[in-house]
Amino acid sequence: MPTMGFAVTQAQKDQIEEMAGSNVSDYIRRAVLGQANTDGILHAIEERLVSLERNMHRIECKWLELASNRMSDGEAVPPELAGVMLESLMLLRSIVSPAKLDAAKADVKRSGLPVWSL
């Protein structure tokens, strides 16, 4: 098998060895040749984003439909919307950092709305 060589600084060599773990050659091979697969990964991510956009649009349409139907009946928040709002709130709170949650609460408070807390 042919070999290749290239020059790096001592700091770069140390960094590569640290990131590679035990086998620097395998690490460099995967890092360089693995980039060919990034196009496939990017395409999959793009398809997922398009799918999420479609889903968000459908959710928005359903939300508006439910809200307009129920608001005319005088009901404050329809049960379907209350359920999805609570589900969304629980999911978001499970993935955001405490700092981001505090910032969001501050934005709600600044807007004059009550801040919901447990």
pLDDT in tens, 1-33: 888 888 999 999 999 998 888 888 888 888 888
pLDDT, tens digit, 9 for 90 and up, residues 58-89: 877 887 777 677 666 666 666 777 788 888 88
CA distance between the termini of the chain: 64
C-beta separation of 100 from 108 below 8 A: no
What is the reported pTM? 0.40
* Sole residue written with tokens 């700092």: 99
